[in-house]
């Protein structure tokens, strides 16, 4: 019985001590997951950008793969990664501005524009450097439209 009491007591003490650690960074898991999502986008966009800028030789197969990866990511329902309050007004480990939740219809519209541009990119990226360049620009503009308003520098 004494042994059981010690186990229960140590478990309770550990839980009490650990609780502030978890409370220090609310939404940490969601923010890490969405940052990972954006890292995947960034990597694939980087492959395409290098081709567009002439820093990497155009390769239709690689361009198609990167564009299709971006398109696949655009299809994810990542709403769970964006809980209200997971912004930079009180958290210093995110660049998301609180305006995302204050003007959600605008965010949704911008997201729809981005998804449409990404779909075009996925269909065109493998059709030559000219097709990649013409479909890459609108995706970048769609990203910028949301980032300018809803992402801190």
Question: What CATH number corresponds to the domain at position 131?
Answer: 1.20.120.10
Let me know if residue 62 belongs to a domain: yes
Domain count along the chain: 1
What is the rounded average pLDDT for all residues in the chain?
Answer: 88
Write down the pTM of the prediction. 0.81
Q: Which two tokens stand for residue 32?
A: 């890490």
Let me know if residue 106 belongs to a domain: yes
Mean pLDDT of the region 68-83: 95
Let me know if residue 13 belongs to a domain: no
* pLDDT greater at residue 143 or residue 23: 143
Beta strand extents in the chain (DSSP E only): none
pLDDT number for residue 24? 73
Range(s) of the domain holding residue 132:
33-150
C-alpha–C-alpha distance, residues 9 and 140, integer Å: 56
List the single range of 21-30, 33-42, 49-58, 130-139 with lowest mean pLDDT.
Answer: 21-30
Tokens 């655009």, residue located: 74
Let me know if residue 116 belongs to a domain: yes
């Amino acid at each position: 019985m004494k042994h059981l009491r010690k186990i229960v007591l140590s478990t309770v003490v550990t839980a009490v001590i650990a609780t502030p650690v978890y409370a220090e960074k609310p939404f940490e898991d969601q923010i890490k997951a969405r940052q990972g999502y954006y890292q995947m986008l960034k990597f694939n966009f980087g492959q395409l950008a290098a081709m567009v800028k002439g820093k990497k030789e155009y390769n239709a197969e690689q361009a198609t793969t990167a564009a299709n990866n971006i398109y696949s990511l655009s299809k994810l329902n990542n709403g769970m990664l964006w809980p209200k309050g997971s912004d930079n007004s009180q958290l210093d480990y995110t660049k998301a501005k609180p305006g995302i939740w204050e003007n959600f219809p605008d965010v949704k519209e911008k997201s729809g524009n981005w998804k449409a541009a990404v779909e075009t990119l996925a269909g065109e990226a493998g059709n030559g450097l000219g097709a990649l360049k013409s479909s890459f620009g609108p995706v970048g503009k769609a990203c910028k439209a949301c980032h300018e308003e809803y992402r801190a520098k």
